[in-house]
Chains A and B, each alone.
Chain A
Amino acid sequence: MLRTENLSKSYDSKIAVHDLNLNLAPGEIYGFLGPNGAGKTTTIRLLLGLLKPTEGRVFLFDEPITDDIIALKRRIGVVAEEPPPANRMTAWELVRFFADLNHVKQPEARMEKLFNALDLWDARHALASAYSRGMRQKLSLIRALIHTPDLLILDEPVSGLDPFGIRQVRAVIDEHREEGGAVLISSHILSEVERSANRIGILHQGRLLVEDSINGIRSRIGDTNVLHIELLEIPESLPAQLQAIAEVKKIETRENRITLHLESGRDARPDIFQAVVATGGILVTMEMEEISLEEAFVTVTNQNVQQLAGAE
C-alpha cells in the first residue's frame, strides 16, 4: 500500500531523512515514532509529494508518486498539524468543500456519521476558524476520512484532545482499519501508538533505528523479562526448584511474592507453574512485567546517540 525505497532528504549539509525503507500493508496500523526533529514530518511530506526526495522513491498503491499524484491523492487521507482555517467556512461547509474536491457524490450521510462519531454534530454550523484546537483536530480527521481513503496518514492526531476525544478518534481509526484501510500514525504520545499500532518504526536523526511489532521491540531491547508471582505461602523448596529452570537468572523473595528475572527467548511460565504445583504451592497471581514503549523508545534512541558519538 505504501512503500519507500532508500528515501533520503537533505538540506545543504543537514540530513533530514536517510535511506528510509518503509512498507505498509492493507489493514495495518504503523506507528511512526521519533523525538522532535527526528524527520517524521519531513518523511510524511515526502510521502505526499509535498517535498522532493534527494534520493530514493515513494510508491503508493504500487505506483511511483511522480506518475499521477492526483489519482493517488484520492486514495489518501491526511491529518497534519494545521493552522486554523483563514476562510469563513463553517465546519460542515469545510468538509463539504473537501468532499467536492475529492469528487464524493452525496457525502451528507458519511458526513453525518463522522460528525456524530467525533461528537461535532451540534457544532457543525459553527465557523471552523472558531473551533478549539481539539475540535479542529477532530474536524481534520473528518476531512481526511470523508472520501473513504485506503490509506490514512496521521501526524500527531490526538495532540490537543481530551481523553474522551482520544477515545473517539481511536474508535474512528479502528473502524477505518477494520474496513481494510491502512494507517500511518506519527505521534509523540507513545501510549496512544502502543494501543493502536501493529508495527512500530523508531526514527532518530533521520534514520529508522528499529522496525518491528511492539513485542518484537521489547524482546530486542531487554535481554531479561521480569515475572512476579504471588503465592498463598512460599514452599521451602520452591526457590531451589525455580533456580533450576534454565531461563531463570535471578530470584528475589519478599513475603509471599517472588520476583524472577528471566532470560528472553523461550516462555518459561509453564515450567514455573509446574514447579509451584510440584512443591505444593498455591498460585494466586502471575504477572509478567513488560517494558513500556516509552522505555523501549528511550533505550533505542539513547543507544543510537551513543553509537553516533562512538563513531565520531
Chain B
Amino acid sequence: MSADLTKTHNRAGFLRWHTIRRIATQQSRDSLFGWGIYIAATVSVGIAALLIFNSVRFVGESDLNVISQPFLFPLQFALTLAMLFVAVEATLSIARPREQGSLQVLFFAPIDEPILIGGNFITGLLVYVFFVVLTLPVLLLLVWATNFVLPTVLLWAVIPTIFAVAVALAFGLFVSAAAPSARAAVLILVAGILILLGLQSAYTALLNIPPTSRFFDALLFIRSILASLQSILSWLSPIRMLDIILTSSLNNDWAQLLKQIGISLVATAVWLFAAVRMLHRKGVLP
C-alpha cells in the first residue's frame, strides 16, 4: 500500500517536472526568437566595450601604465544588464498573459501555480545563460584586442552569479503575480531597482568623501545608516548579491562566496513561495 502510494507520488512528481520543463522550453524558445534579448545583448556588449576603451585611454593618458582588473567592471555591468533583462521578462511573464486573457487558456491544461512559476523561473535561468553565452565571446575578443589580462577566476566567477539572478527572477515573478497589470508590474520593478541602486550609489558616494572634507563629520550618521543598509541589501538586492559573488570569487574569499550563495538560495525560495501564494490568491483571470 505504502509502496503504491510512493509510486503514485513519484509518478505525479515526474509529470509535474515534465510539464515545468515543457513550459520552460516553450517560453525560452519564444524569448530566443524575439528581438529583446539580442538588443539587450548588443547594448550590454557596446557599453562594456566603451568602458574598456575608457580604461585603455586612462592607462594611455596617465603615467601609471597599470590598471587593476580592467574587465571586472565591464563584466559586472554586462551580467547586471543580463540579470535586469531576465528580471523584466519574468515581471511580464504572468502579468501580461493574464491581462490579455491567455493565461486562463494555459490553465485549461493540467497545470497549477507552482508549475507555472517553476516553468517561468527555469525559463529565466536558461535565458540568462544564453545571454552570457552571447556576450562572453565578445568580451574575450576585447581581451585579445586590448591585450589586458582577464584572470581565469573572473570567468569562473560568472557561474555562481546564477544564484543572484535566481533571486532577481523569483522577485520578478512575485511582482508579476501580484501586479494588477503588466504596466504596473514593470513600474514596481523599475521603482525597486532605482531604490536599490540609489542606496548602493549613495553609500559609495559617501565612502568617497575624504576625512578632510568639511562635510565628512556631518554625513557620518547617514553613512553609518547606509552601511547598515548595505548588510540588509546583501539579503535583498540581487545587484548587490551579484557584486558580492563576483568580488568574493575574484578574491578567493570562499567563505563569503558560500555565505552569499546560501543567502541567495534562501531569498529565492522565499520569493518563489510568495509568488506561488500570490498567484493562487490573485488568480489567472484578467
Chains A and B form a bound pair: yes
Which residue of chain A lies nearest to B284 when distances are taken between CB atoms in the complex?
A50
The reply on B15 being an interface residue by CB < 8 A is: yes
The reply on B247 being an interface residue by CB < 8 A is: no
The reply on A172 being an interface residue by CB < 8 A is: no
Knowing A69-B112, A73-B109, A101-B19, the reply to whether A45 touches B285 (Cβ < 8 A) is yes
Residue with the highest number of chain B CB atoms closer than 10 Å, among A48, A77, A101: A101
Min CB gap A125→B, angstroms: 16
The reply on A177 being an interface residue by CB < 8 A is: no
The reply on B4 being an interface residue by CB < 8 A is: no
B108 proximity list for chain A (CB < 8 A):
48, 73, 76-78, 80, 144
Knowing A87-B26, A101-B22, the reply to whether A80 touches B110 (Cβ < 8 A) is no
Knowing A83-B100, A83-B101, the reply to whether A101 touches B30 (Cβ < 8 A) is no
Min CB gap B64→A, angstroms: 52
Which residue of chain B lies nearest to A88 when distances are taken between CB atoms in the complex?
B33
Which residue of chain B lies nearest to A144 when distances are taken between CB atoms in the complex?
B108
Interface Cβ pair total, 8 Å cutoff: 67
- CB pair B109 A98 closer than 8 Å: yes
Report which of B16, B18, B26, B107 forms a contact with A97, defined as CB distance below 8 A.
B26
Min CB gap B207→A, angstroms: 46
B284 proximity list for chain A (CB < 8 A):
50
A100 proximity list for chain B (CB < 8 A):
18, 22
The reply on A67 being an interface residue by CB < 8 A is: no
B22 proximity list for chain A (CB < 8 A):
97, 100-101
Min CB gap B111→A, angstroms: 6
Interface residues of B in 1-41 (CB under 8 A from A): 12, 15-16, 18-19, 22-23, 26, 30, 33-34
The reply on B160 being an interface residue by CB < 8 A is: no
Min CB gap A161→B, angstroms: 19
- Bound together, the chains give a CA A102 to CA B111 distance in angstroms of 9
Of the four ranges (under 10, 10 to 19, 20 to 34, 35 or more), the interface on chain A belongs to: 20 to 34
- CB pair B102 A82 closer than 8 Å: yes
Knowing A48-B108, A70-B112, A73-B110, the reply to whether A103 touches B18 (Cβ < 8 A) is yes
The reply on B104 being an interface residue by CB < 8 A is: yes
Interface residues of B in 107-122 (CB under 8 A from A): 107-112, 115
Scan B93-105; emit 1 where CB is below 8 A from any A CB, else 0: 0001100111011
Min CB gap A173→B, angstroms: 17
Min CB gap A89→B, angstroms: 8
Interface residues of A in 100-118 (CB under 8 A from B): 100-103
Which residue of chain B lies nearest to A52 when distances are taken between CB atoms in the complex?
B283
- Bound together, the chains give a CA A48 to CA B15 distance in angstroms of 20
The reply on A86 being an interface residue by CB < 8 A is: yes
Knowing A50-B284, A101-B19, A103-B18, the reply to whether A85 touches B102 (Cβ < 8 A) is yes
Min CB gap B35→A, angstroms: 12
Binding site for B on A (CB under 8 A): 45, 48, 50-51, 69-71, 73-74, 76-78, 80, 82-83, 85-89, 97-98, 100-103, 144
In addition to A70-B12, A77-B108, 19 A-B residue pairs with Cβ atoms within 8 Å of each other are A45-B285, A50-B107, A51-B283, A69-B112, A73-B108, A73-B109, A73-B111, A80-B104, A80-B105, A83-B100, A85-B102, A86-B97, A87-B30, A97-B22, A100-B22, A101-B22, A101-B23, A101-B111, A103-B15
- Sample of 25 A–B contacts (CB below 8 Å): A45-B104, A48-B107, A50-B284, A50-B285, A51-B285, A69-B112, A70-B12, A70-B16, A70-B110, A70-B112, A71-B110, A73-B108, A73-B109, A82-B101, A82-B105, A83-B100, A83-B102, A85-B102, A86-B100, A88-B34, A97-B26, A100-B18, A101-B22, A102-B110, A103-B19
